[in-house]
Structure 1
Amino acid sequence: MNITPQALIFDLNGTMIDDMHFHAKAWFQILNNDLGAALTWDEVKVQMYGKNSEVLDRIFGKGKFTVEQVQKLSVEKERRYQQEYFPHLQLIAGLANFLENARQANIKMAIGSAAIPFNIDFVLDNLNIRHYFEAIVSADDVTDSKPDPETFLKAAQLLGVEPANCVVFEDAPKGVEAAQNAGMASVVLTTAHTQEEFSQYFNILRFVQDYNNPFIAELLPVRV
């Protein structure tokens, strides 16, 4: 498996920022307090993948809400998430240096996330890192969410790099599955899931807690 990639594709939530607890908290409030779903914390956590509309469909059944209702619930969920998380907003340790080193090594980079643009903009602009990314693929840019490979394949296409020459950074099993379906290797951030939850996948290069792991530097060309 190629470990000197031409492009790096980053999931966002839980991968670049350690914020999944705040997403879970916002969903927990919306689903239980606002919508009466009566779910446990663990039941909410396991549903947190894909587009917001897909989360609602999985829990309540397709067609339960109108398009307008889904949009309103989605915006309210993200508003609560951003308000709660903003005081804690920061990149995962070591990522700032890695992004700069990758840029200097002329490695192309993209965001491939199931987040809506509202949330992607919240992170990129408040942390002033938008300039590192040549392409951004959000929930609004795809028909099928992860584990479908569309998100990552579109990112690779926008970068002009073959899938086999991309490495994906992910934190969730469905994201790793999407990368595998796209023919891409993955590095897994263990911010939200244990290694055991990824046992069925064969495209994982390494599990890391953060970007200070020595393996991360090995992904970039050696400077001479």
Structure 2
Amino acid sequence: MDLNSKAFLFDMNGTMIDDMYYHTRAWHKVLGDLGAGLSMEQTKLHMYGKAEEMFDRIFGPNKFGDQELHDIIMNKELAYQEAFRPQLKLINGLGAFLQKAKAAGISLAIGTAAPKTNVDFVLDGLQLHSLFPVIIGAEDVTTSKPDPEVFLSAAAGLKVNPADCVVFEDSPKGVEAAKRGGMKAVVITTFHEPEDFAHLDNVLMCVKDYTDPQLEQLFA
């Protein structure tokens, strides 16, 4: 596969770090306290896009005032960070993979629905800011995944044609966003099974982590 050494665009949660269980647990408690009545599995299915959009899907629009919703979300993020901090590390093999991409002249960016507080929590904690000249987060887009805006903005920030980007994702909605942006995708199976992506024809491969030898194809 000839990438012409263009760009790799990474989702963050579940793709760079294996933290989705901690997000699910934190959201399940918050939503339960608010009377949503969702199981853990139902909570998982709602966990895509911006948190504000998730609240609209679950409770209907405008159930919470802007400040109230902001406080709910921030309290959830603090609970998630406290629980996950002792486990904060890159998914196996990703550190070496990023260095190999950089050495190959492939540009790197992050396109995530996470708010800046969580992006900084991860990138500062792992000292990764210098590897990613472009970071697009929740505050930087109008509409989140499966809309392709986040990945198109990342490609534009790198000055790379979307068709020359490979997106790394852990969720079907994220891979759909890549597809709608004209991009291929690599699936990291931390949060979903490969069959959950069967309907998406832009998937290059599904891997458990970044030690998988299939990934060598991306540098060929």
Q: Do they fold alike, i.e. is TM over 0.5?
A: yes
* Equivalences for residues 85-104 of structure 1 within 5 A: 85-104=84-103
How big is the shift at 1:217? 2.7
- Where does the alignment leave 5 or more consecutive residues of structure 2 unmatched? none
Map of 1:79 onto structure 2: 78
Cα distance in 2 for residues equivalent to 1:102 and 1:3: 11
- Aligned runs of 1:21-170 on 2, under 5 Å? 21-32=21-32, 34-170=33-169
Give the TM-score normalised by the residue count of structure 1.
0.96
Residue identity in the other structure for 1:190: T
Counterparts of 1:133 and 1:218 in 2: how far apart (Å)? 22
Question: Residue 2 of structure 1: CA displacement?
Answer: 5.0
| 8 Å contact from structure 1 (residues 4, 220) kept in 2 | no
In 1, the alpha carbon distance for the partners of 2:185 and 2:195 equals: 15
Q: Deviating runs (4+, > 3 A) in structure 1?
A: 1-5
Letter in 2 for 1:98: F
Paired residue for 2:193? 194
| Residues matched between the structures, number | 220
Assess if the C-alpha contact under 8 Å between 2:9 and 2:151 holds in 1.
yes
Aligned-partner Cα distance in 2 for 1:162–1:3: 11
Q: CA deviation at 1:39?
A: 1.1
**C-alpha deviation, 1:218, in angstroms:** 2.6
Q: For residues 80-122 of structure 1, what are the alpha-carbon distances to aligned partners after superposition, in whole Å with 9 as ceiling and x for unaligned?
A: 0000000001100000001111111111000000000100000
Paired with 1:170 and 1:105, the residues of 2 have a C-alpha distance of 21
User: 1:220 offset after TM fit, Å?
Assistant: 2.3
- Give deviations 1:167-189, integer Å, cap 9, x for gaps: 00000000000000000000000
Q: Does structure 2 conserve the Cα–Cα contact (< 8 Å) formed by 1:22 and 1:84?
A: yes
TM-score by length of 2: 0.97
For 2:41 and 2:107, how far apart are their aligned partners in 1? 37
Supply the AA of the counterpart residue of 2:14.
G
Q: Give the secondary structure class of the aligned counterpart of 1:39.
A: coil
* RMSD between aligned residues: 1.1
Deviation, structure 1 residue 3: 4.7
C-alpha contact 2:5 2:104 (8 A) present in aligned 1? no
Question: How far apart are the structure 2 equivalents of 1:116 and 1:3?
Answer: 30
Task: Quote the Cα distance in structure 1 between the aligned partners of 2:3 and 2:207.
Answer: 15
